[in-house]
Structure 1
């Protein structure tokens, strides 16, 4: 089994706010992340796939195609967007990094060919905070 990781970058704004709570409780639980004027992150996205090598090419999967899939189905929908407002596949969800990683998985996994599996989505919100998601 071989693992291959493609690293991408995007910028996005969001806020953490539970509409079932009042402003005070949201501020207690989410702190500055509940800012009414939003806040942003410079996200680093690591997409890791796994599988067996193609004997003809020596590749697990063509990284140019992987990059195009990530761009089309993830980056074009997230980069320079407001995650709470602009991203259809996040509607109705708390826009935490954890939920974002799961949503990225759900967008990308069905678009990969059968010869490879999505192994992990690693999403850095800051250089010191990241989430890893390995599917359900």
Structure 2
């Protein structure tokens, strides 16, 4: 095998977090009209898929050390957000904690640790019918 063999490897994580949708500069009526029931605090059991892309190491046969990926995502994302109020997290100051913004926050936390050139995609599932894929600001 040579460096020309590249692949993507995805690891799945879960965490539970609460939030509500609310734009501070809007009136209560505007928030309720736009977001409806989502203005009330509620929670989700999120699923997070983190995909790393790169050359397959000729010795290990792997794109990434899966144990290290599990450790980094666990310490950086899961420990931070599990059973947390996303609205209270500094990453959501000034922005609504939507699934889209959660995906961006996860990327921003992981890219410096995994390498923006290796982090390929984060997929955040809010429930079995809704997910967001994010591939970084330059995608």
TM range (shorter): over 0.9
- How far apart are residue 126 of structure 1 and its match? 1.0
- How far apart are residue 7 of structure 1 and its match? 0.3
- How far apart are residue 59 of structure 1 and its match? 1.1
Q: How many residues align?
A: 132
Matched with 1:2 is 7
Between stretches 101-110 and 88-97, larger displacement belongs to 88-97
Superposition TM-score, scaled by structure 2 size: 0.91
Unaligned runs of 5+ in 2: 1-5
- 1:124 and 1:26 map into 2 onto residues whose CA distance is 24
- 2:29 and 2:115 map into 1 onto residues whose CA distance is 47
1:29-68 matches, within 5 Å, as 29-35=34-40, 38-68=41-71
Unaligned runs of 5+ in 1: none
- 1:30 and 1:81 map into 2 onto residues whose CA distance is 21
Matched with 2:95 is 93
Matched with 1:17 is 22
- Detail structure 1 runs of 4+ shifted over 4 Å in the superposition: none
Superposition TM-score, scaled by structure 1 size: 0.93
CA RMSD of aligned residues (A): 1.3
- 1:47 and 1:67 map into 2 onto residues whose CA distance is 10
- 1:92 and 1:69 map into 2 onto residues whose CA distance is 27
Deviations 1:12-63 (A, max 9, x none): 000000111111110110011101xx10001000000100011111111110
